[in-house]
């Protein structure tokens, strides 16, 4: 029933806010930072602790749900195609920012029902910004409805993401970024894909683009962006995937189209495999 789901969504939000307090208080020392596969790819003890905390809490709120989280912790089973509910969790999106006290990281939690994203929660605990969207009910930032204006690239800020471990396609990405730099008001590389997409939803960015992201990076923000009137797809325009990672463009309908065209126009052989 609807009321039961609404109270579950409220419980999910409360738990994320609690996890946010842990993040703000945390002071990661060098010994708590671990290298993952690939260049400059890190996980801290806090990423793991927060993911464990969320999985435990969400299992009580929605018994039987599956979990697809960024970190390798107990309860993290990966996406289950036939599962009733699946949580997509990035306990700290923007781990490198977190390690260096940038205060631009978030907790990202998406909820899928039978392979359809139904809800997204993205919480920036340093400035207490909570983005929430329930499919069909609009997007909210701190309780206020957000609806983006359909601006084109020339009318605002473009944000892109680039992780050192995503080496394929770097030349291609930076050609697109250079093109955007010359055609927009400014560019950003904030270090959190979920926040970059949410900022497109709330109108701060016209578009966010990145090659090779994972579903837990964009699952939650995809609902928030779409419910705010935005578009998110893979860079060739096909739907984003939930069982494996993909390259994404998410933004206003106009900026999304312009970005997709820039990727097509500036593609060359170095882009193979992306
Ligand atoms: C990363 C951030 C970053 C993006 C990377 C992601 P993490 O997530 O979202 O902005 O460029 O591709 O992996 O590792 O900090 O959770």
Q: How far is the CA of 3 from the centre of ligand 1 (A)?
A: 35
- Closest ligand 1 atom to 98 CA: 15
pLDDT score at 76: 83
Phi/psi at 218 (nearest 5 deg)?
A: -120, -10
Question: What's the CA gap between 40 and 210, in Å, rounded?
Answer: 17
pLDDT over threshold 80, residue 1: no
Edge-first strand listing for the sheet containing 85-93: 66-69, 85-93, 106-113, 116-124, 129-134, 139-141, 144-146
Pocket of ligand 1 (CB under 6 A): 70, 90, 92-95, 161-163, 191-193, 210, 213, 217
Nearest CA to ligand 1 atom 5: 163
pLDDT score at 80: 63
- Closest ligand 1 atom to 96 CA: 15
- Closest ligand 1 atom to 92 CA: 16
Q: How far is the CA of 13 from the centre of ligand 1 (A)?
A: 22
Domain ranges of the chain: 2-146, 153-266
- Closest ligand 1 atom to 217 CA: 9
pLDDT score at 43: 87
Nearest CA to ligand 1 atom 12: 163
Confidence of residue 41 (pLDDT cuts 50, 70, 90): confident
Q: How far is the CA of 193 from the centre of ligand 1 (A)?
A: 6
Please name the residues in contact with 80: beta carbons below 8 A apart, sequence gap of 6 or more: 66, 68, 86
Q: Is the pTM of this model over 0.90?
A: yes
35-42 average pLDDT score: 79
Q: How far is the CA of 191 from the centre of ligand 1 (A)?
A: 6
Question: What's the CA gap between 243 and 168, in Å, rounded?
Answer: 21
Q: Is 32 left (phi over 0), alpha (psi -120 to 50) or beta?
A: alpha
- ipTM exceeding the 0.90 mark: yes
pLDDT score at 135: 97
Range 153-266 has CATH code 3.40.190.80 = yes
Q: Which of 39, 51, 93 to mutate to test the pocket of ligand 1 (most atoms within 8 A of CB)?
A: 93
Q: How far is the CA of 1 from the centre of ligand 1 (A)?
A: 36
pLDDT score at 246: 95
Identical fold for domains 2-146 and 153-266, yes or no, is no
Q: Is 179 helix (H, G, I), strand (E, B) or coil?
A: helix
pLDDT over threshold 60, residue 100: yes
pLDDT score at 272: 64
- Residue-wise pLDDT tens digits, 124-176: 999 999 999 999 999 999 999 999 999 999 999 999 998 887 788 889 999 99
**Beta 144-146 vs 139-141: how paired, if at all?**
antiparallel
pLDDT score at 31: 75
Question: What's the CA gap between 131 and 145, in Å, rounded?
Answer: 10
pLDDT over threshold 70, residue 48: yes
- Closest ligand 1 atom to 189 CA: 10
Using the 8-state DSSP alphabet, how is residue 240 labeled? Answer: P
Distances (CA, A) of 254 to 55, 157, 159, 203, 249: 38, 13, 15, 13, 12
Q: What is the CATH number of domain 2-146?
A: 3.30.540.10
Q: Is 221 helix (H, G, I), strand (E, B) or coil?
A: helix
Query: What does the mean pLDDT of the chain come to?
Result: 93
Nearest CA to ligand 1 atom 15: 94
- Closest ligand 1 atom to 194 CA: 9
Element (H, E) at 145: strand 144-146
pLDDT score at 166: 78
Q: Do 240 and 222 form a contact (C-beta atoms < 8 A)?
A: yes
């Amino acid at each position: 029933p609807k009321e039961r789901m609404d109270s579950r969504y409220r419980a999910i939000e409360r738990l994320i806010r609690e996890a946010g307090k842990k993040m703000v208080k945390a002071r990661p020392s060098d010994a708590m930072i671990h290298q993952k596969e690939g260049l400059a790819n890190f996980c801290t003890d806090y990423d793991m602790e927060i993911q464990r905390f969320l999985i435990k809490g969400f299992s009580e709120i929605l018994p039987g749900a599956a979990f697809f989280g960024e970190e390798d912790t107990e309860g993290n089973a990966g996406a289950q195609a036939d599962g009733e509910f699946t949580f997509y969790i990035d306990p700290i999106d923007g781990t490198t920012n977190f390690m260096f006290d940038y205060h631009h990281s978030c907790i990202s939690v998406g909820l899928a029902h039978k392979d359809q994203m139904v809800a997204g929660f993205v919480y920036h605990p340093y400035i207490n910004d909570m983005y929430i969207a329930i499919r069909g009910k609009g997007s909210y930032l701190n309780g206020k409805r957000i609806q983006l204006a359909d601006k084109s690239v020339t009318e605002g800020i473009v944000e892109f993401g680039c992780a050192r471990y995503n080496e394929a396609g770097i030349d291609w990405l930076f050609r697109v970024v250079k093109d955007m730099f010359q055609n927009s008001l400014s560019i950003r590389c904030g270090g959190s894909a979920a926040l970059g997409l949410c900022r497109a939803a709330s109108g701060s960015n016209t578009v966010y683009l990145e090659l090779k992201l994972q579903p837990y990076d964009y699952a939650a923000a995809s609902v928030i962006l779409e419910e705010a009137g935005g578009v998110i797809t893979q860079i060739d325009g096909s739907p984003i995937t939930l069982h494996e990672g993909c390259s994404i463009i998410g933004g206003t309908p106009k900026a999304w189209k312009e970005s997709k065209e820039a990727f097509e126009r500036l593609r060359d052989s170095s882009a193979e495999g992306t």
